[in-house]
A = this chain, B = another copy of it.
Amino acid sequence: MTDRRTEILTGAARVIARQGVRGLRVADLAAEAGVSTALIYYHFKDRAGILRHALAFIGDRADRYTAEGDGAEPGIAPAGPRQLLERTLLLEFQDLPEVRENSTAWGELRAHSVFDPELREDLAAAGAAWAAEVAGHLADLCPKAPPGAVTAAAERLTALLEGLSVRWLSGLLPLRHARGLVREAIGVEVDRLASHPPRPPRPPRPSPPSRID
C-alpha cells in the first residue's frame, strides 16, 4: 500500500472513531490526512470505496496488535491454543489510544450497517474469518468436540466480545471487568466443549436373556 493510501485510511479510521460514519465527510478526511479530495477520489473512487477500504485497514490493524499482544515476546516459547484463544479475544480490551480508536471505528462501522447495507458483505466476511480463527483454537483445545458445537461456541464468544466492547467504549464497563468476563466465558465454553461426548455413549451390550420361565 502506498504511503498516501495509508495516510488516507489512517485518517479515515480516526475520523470515523471521532465522528461516526455519518460524520465522515470527504472534505474533513482530506483535511485530516493532509491531501486533496481529488486524491482521495482517485484512490478510492467514492465514499463507499473509502468505507470498504477503511474496514479492511482497521481489520488488518487489529490483526497486527493481536499478533503483537501480551505474551508474544520474542524468545518466549510459542503460545498454546488457550493462550492464542485468549489473545485473539482479549485484543479488543487494551487501554491504548490505538486500540480504543480502532475498536471504536470498527464498532461504528458494524453499528452503521444496521442502517446501510453497503458494508454488509465485507462485515460478514470479516466476522466469518474471525469466528473461524476462534473456532480453530477451540478445536485445538477440544479435539473431540463436534464441529457444529465448536462453531456455535466461536460465534457466541465473538458476539459476546462485540457486546462487551460497546459497553467498555461507552464507559459502562471497566476494562478489567470486561477482560474478566471474557476469560470466564472462554472457560465456560471450553469446559462445555471438553465435556462433549464425540457421540452418544454406546449402550451396554445386552446379556442374553436368561430363561427363567
A residues in contact (CB < 8 Å) with B: 18-20, 22-23, 104, 107-108, 110-111, 113-115, 117, 120, 123-124, 127, 152, 155-156, 158-164, 166-167, 169-172, 180-181, 184-185, 188-189, 191-192
The 10 nearest A-B residue pairs measured at CB:
A163-B163, A159-B163, A111-B111, A162-B163, A113-B170, A114-B169, A114-B170, A160-B160, A159-B164, A22-B22
Kindly name the residue among A111, A169, A180, A189 whose own CB sees the greatest number of chain B CB atoms within 10 A: A111
Closest B residue by C-beta to A172: B124
Q: Measured between C-beta atoms, what is the minimum distance from A119 to chain B in Å?
A: 9
Taking CB atoms, residues of chain B closer than 8 Å to A20 are 22, 115
Known: A114-B166, A160-B163, A163-B163. 4 other contacts (CB 8 A): A107-B114, A110-B166, A111-B166, A114-B170
Taking CB atoms, residues of chain B closer than 8 Å to A159 are 160, 163-164, 167, 181
Taking a contact as CB atoms closer than 8 A, the residue among B22, B111, B123, B171 that contacts A172 in the complex is: B123
For the complex formed by this chain, how many copies does it contain in all?
2
Taking CB atoms, residues of chain B closer than 8 Å to A111 are 107-108, 111, 166
Known A20-B115, A104-B114: A184·B172 in contact at CB below 8 Å: no
Interface of A (DSSP majority class): helix
Question: 11 interchain pairs (CB within 8 A)?
Answer: A20-B22, A20-B115, A113-B172, A114-B169, A120-B171, A152-B181, A156-B181, A156-B188, A159-B163, A162-B163, A188-B188
A156 engages B171 (CB within 8 Å): no
Q: How long is the Cα–Cα vector from A159 to B171 in the complex, in angstroms? A: 14
A114 engages B120 (CB within 8 Å): no
Kindly name the residue among A19, A159, A191 whose own CB sees the greatest number of chain B CB atoms within 10 A: A159
Taking CB atoms, residues of chain B closer than 8 Å to A152 are 180-181, 184
Taking a contact as CB atoms closer than 8 A, the residue among B22, B162, B170, B188 that contacts A189 in the complex is: B188
Q: How long is the Cα–Cα vector from A177 to B191 in the complex, in angstroms? A: 23
Q: Measured between C-beta atoms, what is the minimum distance from A170 to chain B in Å?
A: 4
Closest B residue by C-beta to A162: B163
Taking CB atoms, residues of chain B closer than 8 Å to A104 are 114
